[in-house]
């Protein structure tokens, strides 16, 4: 056998075949991590994460100066605006001397930008640029979490501006408080006492790594338009933090030995390295989000990618399950579920569930709530939603557009047969509503018993 085939066989037998529930905790954790790592590596190689990272690099290049200008103006009011330069230097540290050059250039742009002379139109454009960057980031994270709707416009505006205006103040204020405490006489006295001195020295050395992991964890909790468990976000933050430090060391080594690139790109060498490092940074952020997603939804961790293509019968069955779950949660007074939660409960891929929910929304069968984490509730009384109409919606009977095939396929016999099939389906579901399905009405039980009994035998 080829080495690749041997590796695939070993991976299947040793990593995917064992039942995790029967293994000791340490072994179970190691295998679960190996499975998530394998699936994330597969997603990385299929190229979609790379496209998302490249689009974010492009958006970042357009928005970095406006974003820093807004943060600079807010921080200036608190007297900590000089911390932006330090943060940029730390971010671009793997670029070496070119990182210092890029930092000085960006800071000079930001310092020369005066919001007061921009005017109302210029200020609106500045705010729009900042919000568009954060919206692009949310779209990328939503794709990873299989969420197909952004925050409502009002929440988008308030949440984004809160991050831009309040976030930097809190971060740099915390850094300033930490520096003040470390320079205080009480702290110096505690350091002289063992083992506190050794523990504090260790904590100071670990602090940069803790801050990076905390930043990633906050992003994974806040940015996606879905409820992310803190534990899953923390796992993704740890994975991204480890990748960040390893990649930073590797990239710094690459920059030191890349003098010949300066000869090739000349004055553009710094820009090229900056764009590559931005790409690497966004890729690490997206990979960590993937880890968080798979940790929260282990049903997606499979050796082969889950199929997103369903037959008509499978789509109908899935639509009935989705509608029934939405109706049952509503009728029993339970909180509405998001599309990701519905897919998780039904143990199916998120893409077909999202497509069905979109069809239900367009036809006023379901509607999205406006809470912090949007869910779905019936758009009209359950006894007004007929199952026949629900099936028609899923089959695309009521969709507009795409009439080309309908206009060309005009054979009367085929069209008559299709009409007969539709009438038979409508008669079979006559009088049945989503309320009957959600409450397990007696009419559905009678139909189920008739189906199980099978067709009647002809008389002898």
Give burial (CB, 10 Å; 0-12/13-18/19+) of 352: buried
Are 134 and 160 a contacting pair, CB within 8 Å? yes
Are 110 and 84 a contacting pair, CB within 8 Å? yes
Instruction: State the span(s) of the chain assigned CATH 1.10.10.10.
Output: 312-451
CA distance 301 to 232: 14
| pLDDT value for 236 | 93
One digit per residue, the tens of pLDDT, for the chain of length 460 reads 446 566 667 666 677 777 777 778 787 788 888 888 888 988 888 888 889 999 899 888 888 877 777 777 777 666 666 667 777 777 778 777 777 888 888 777 777 666 555 556 666 777 777 788 888 888 899 888 887 777 777 777 777 777 777 766 666 666 555 556 656 666 667 666 777 667 767 776 777 788 888 889 988 988 888 888 899 999 999 999 999 888 888 888 777 766 666 566 666 777 788 888 899 999 999 999 999 999 988 878 877 766 556 677 888 888 889 988 998 888 888 888 888 788 878 877 777 888 888 888 888 888 888 766 678 899 888 888 888 888 888 877 445 544 444 555 566 777 778 788 877 877 777 778 888 888 765 555 555 554 454 444 443 3
Q: Secondary structure of the chain in the HEC alphabet?
A: CCHHHHHHHHHHHHHHCCCHHHCCHHHHHHHHHHHHHHHHHHHHHCCHHHHHHHHHHHHHHHHHHHHHHHHHHHHHHHCCCCHHHHHHHHHCHHHCHHHHHHHHHHHHHHHHCCHHHCHHHHHHHHHHHHHHHHHHHHHHHHHHCCCCCCCCHHHHHHHHHHHHHCHHHHHHHHHHHHHHHHCCHHHHHHHCCCCHHHHHHHHHHHHHHHHHHHHHHHHHHHCCCCCCCHHHHHHHHHHHHHHHHHHHHHHHHHHHCCHHHHHHHHHHHHHHHHHHHHHHHHHHHHHHHHHHHHHHCHHHCCCCCCCCCCCHHHHHHHHHHHHHHHHHHHHCCCCCECHHHHHHHHCCCHHHHHHHHHHHHHCCCEEECCCCCCCEEECCCHHHCEHHHHHHHHHCCCCCCCCHHHHHCCCHHHHHHHHHHHHHHHHHCCCCEHHHHHCCCHHHHHHHHHHHHCCCCCCC
Tokens encoding 453: 């009994």
| pLDDT value for 305 | 66
Tokens encoding 459: 């008389």
Are 101 and 274 a contacting pair, CB within 8 Å? no
CATH architecture of the domain with residue range 312-451: Orthogonal Bundle (1.10)
Whether the CA torsion 35, 41, 46, 49 is positive or negative: it is: positive
| pLDDT value for 122 | 67
Tokens encoding 17: 């075949």
| pLDDT value for 153 | 74
| pLDDT value for 261 | 61
């Amino acid at each position: 056998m080829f080495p690749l085939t041997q590796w695939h066989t070993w991976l299947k037998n040793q990593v995917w075949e064992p039942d995790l529930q029967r293994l000791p905790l340490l072994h179970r954790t190691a295998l679960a991590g190996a499975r998530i790592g394998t699936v994330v590596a597969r997603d990385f190689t299929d190229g979609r994460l790379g496209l998302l990272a490249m689009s974010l690099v492009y958006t970042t290049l357009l928005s970095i100066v406006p974003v820093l200008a807004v943060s600079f103006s807010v921080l200036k009011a608190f007297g900590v605006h000089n911390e932006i330069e330090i943060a940029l230097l730390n971010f671009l540290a793997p670029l070496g001397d070119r990182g210092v050059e890029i930092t000085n250039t960006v800071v000079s742009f930001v310092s020369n930008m005066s919001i007061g002379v921009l005017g109302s139109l210029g200020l609106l454009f500045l705010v729009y640029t900042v919000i568009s960057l954060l919206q692009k980031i949310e779209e990328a994270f939503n794709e990873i979490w299989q969420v197909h709707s952004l925050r409502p416009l009002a929440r988008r505006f308030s949440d984004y501006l809160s991050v831009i205006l309040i976030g930097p103040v809190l971060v740099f204020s915390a850094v300033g408080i930490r520096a003040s405490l470390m320079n205080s006489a009480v702290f110096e006295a505690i350091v002289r006492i063992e083992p506190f001195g050794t523990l504090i020295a260790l904590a100071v050395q670990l602090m940069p790594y803790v801050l990076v992991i905390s930043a990633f964890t906050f992003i994974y909790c806040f940015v996606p338009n879905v409820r992310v468990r803190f534990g899953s976000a923390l796992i993704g933050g740890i994975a991204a933090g480890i990748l960040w430090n390893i990649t930073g060391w590797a990239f710094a080594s690459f920059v030191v030995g890349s003098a010949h690139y300066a000869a090739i790109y000349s004055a553009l060498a710094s820009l090229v390295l900056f764009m590559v490092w931005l790409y690497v940074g966004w890729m690490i952020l997206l990979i960590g989000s993937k880890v968080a997603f798979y940790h929260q939804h282990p049903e997606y961790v499979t050796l082969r990618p889950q199929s997103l293509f369903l037959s008509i019968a499978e789509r109908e069955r899935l639509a009935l399950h989705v509608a029934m779950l939405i109706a049952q949660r509503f009728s029993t007074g339970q909180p509405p579920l998001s599309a990701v939660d519905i897919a998780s409960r039904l143990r199916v891929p998120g893409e077909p569930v999202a497509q069905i929910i979109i069809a239900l929304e367009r036809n006023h069968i379901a509607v999205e709530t406006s809470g912090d984490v949007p869910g779905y509730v019936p758009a009209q009384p359950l006894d007004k939603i007929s199952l026949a109409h629900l099936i028609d919606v899923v089959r695309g009977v009521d969709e507009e557009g795409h009439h080309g095939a309908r206009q060309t396929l005009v054979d009367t016999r085929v069209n008559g047969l299709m009409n007969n099939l539709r009438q038979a389906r409508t008669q079979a579901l006559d009088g049945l509503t989503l309320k009957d399905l959600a409450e397990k009405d007696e009419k559905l039980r009678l139909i189920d018993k008739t189906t199980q009994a099978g067709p009647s035998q002809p008389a002898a």
